[in-house]
Structure 1
Amino acid sequence: MKDIASTDINRFVRDVTAGRTKANVKTKARGRAIVRGGAGTAARAVGLLGGIFTYAIGQGIIEKNPAHGIRKQADRVKDRRLTEQEYREFGAILRKASKNDALGIAVAVARFLALTGCRRSEAVSLKWTEVDAENSCLRLEDSKEGASVRPVGLSVLDMMDDLSRDEHDTFVFPGTVEGKPLVGFPKYWKKVLKGTILEDITPHVLRHSFASVANDLGFTEATVAATSMDF
């Protein structure tokens, strides 16, 4: 701790921002740790370091916090989140789009993403065998973190009850080919939002908004993480 200087942290920030710490490491049977680096990651890491050094000062280990005053490059990634009014607009857009039979499944996926905070890939590949209605959760067999249990609200289960389900359907959101999930969701997403005031948002915006709203409502980070994982 005593040997770390501000020059070391400045060098660390430059390296992380430039992506020199990026890695793709296998962590378990079906899990991977993907580290991309970047300005946002560097800024968060310095914030964590500052907290560690502050604790060290309180313990009498060091006298000065070397992370103080470190200039952090602005993160170019927009942390876009929907406002309350935009959520209303999004709902209205989905209701209108649902009148088009060709967009019905895509609309259901979009509504599911907004209500669960799941990743797009997790929604599209969701199987009926992974839906545990009795315990109000999804039991994903293979997510980014491997097998994962995600609590969901009654609104999600009600939405699934409303879906037209064929006895041969494996996937909750089936595509046009029997036994296959919906493909080309990004294309459908653009069709649903084209020409609307929310044309610029992505599925990840719904994911980030879900976590932000949960935080606003006072849920702990651990609870939010257990619900949708890895924001």
Structure 2
Amino acid sequence: MDLARRTARLGDMKTGASTRPLPHAACAVLTAQQALTGGKVDGLVFPPSRGDGTMSGFAGFMARIVNLADLPPEITAHVLRQSFASVAADLELSEVTIASLIGHKGGGITRRYIHSADTVLLAAADKVAGEVAWQMGEAPPEGQVVQLTPRGA
């Protein structure tokens, strides 16, 4: 995470490494998460609940988040990603911009030279996040982190 540049670098994607723009709301959540961990996140947004390495079982983790948020159980990370793209389309953002926001490859050789989110993409990420918050009847989030307790605790 590069919160100063509002970007996330994803290294192990099926299409290779990817840099994604982060809206202010996501940066606020990540900043709050860093505060809870004493400023140490080790580059992982979802660290393992025990031991070292990377977290496994994201589907179960996501199901717990959905339950805590009182969302319908059929909500998954993929559903949220599709919804984000749909809201972006409703806001009349271009397909190229939406593809860049959600990490779809394409758009020609120019993309090989882009290593950080530009101002247009950052504004688009903020616009979509604000619209999602408004549709949920909320003000744009200020960055709230909810501490999860381990199962059986």
Instruction: Give 5+ residue unaligned stretches, structure 2.
Output: 106-153
2:52 corresponds to which of 159, 179, 188: 179
Distance in 2, matches of 1:149 and 1:137, equals 6
The Cα shift of 1:168 comes to 7.3
**Letter of the structure 2 residue corresponding to residue 186 of structure 1:** A
- Tell me the percent identity: 33
| Structure 2 equivalent of residue 134 of structure 1 | 4
**What is the root-mean-square deviation of aligned Cα atoms in Å?**
2.6
Distance in 1, matches of 2:95 and 2:81, equals 14
1:149 corresponds to which of 8, 15, 19: 19
**Letter of the structure 2 residue corresponding to residue 143 of structure 1:** M
1:1-231 alignment runs, 5 A limit: 131-163=1-33, 164-165=36-37, 167=40, 169-193=42-66, 198-230=72-104
The Cα shift of 1:206 comes to 0.4
The count of residues paired between Structure 1 and Structure 2 equals 101
Change (3 A) 1:168 1:150: closer
Distance in 1, matches of 2:41 and 2:82, equals 34
**Letter of the structure 2 residue corresponding to residue 210 of structure 1:** F
The Cα shift of 1:170 comes to 4.6
Q: Considering fraction of residues, name the structure with more strand.
A: 1
| Structure 2 equivalent of residue 109 of structure 1 | none
**Letter of the structure 2 residue corresponding to residue 140 of structure 1:** L
Instruction: Give 5+ residue unaligned stretches, structure 1.
Output: 1-130
| Bigger radius of gyration among the two | 1
Distance in 1, matches of 2:56 and 2:29, equals 21
User: TM-score, length-normalised on structure 1?
Assistant: 0.38
Q: Quick one: higher RCO (CA 8 Å, sep 6+), 1 or 2?
A: 2
- Is the contact between residue 137 and residue 150 of structure 1 (CA under 8 Å) also seen in structure 2? yes
The Cα shift of 1:183 comes to 2.1
- Is the contact between residue 215 and residue 224 of structure 1 (CA under 8 Å) also seen in structure 2? yes
Change (3 A) 1:135 1:169: closer
State which drifts further: 166-175 or 199-208: 166-175
SS at match of 1:204: helix
| Structure 1 equivalent of residue 114 of structure 2 | none
SS at match of 1:142: coil
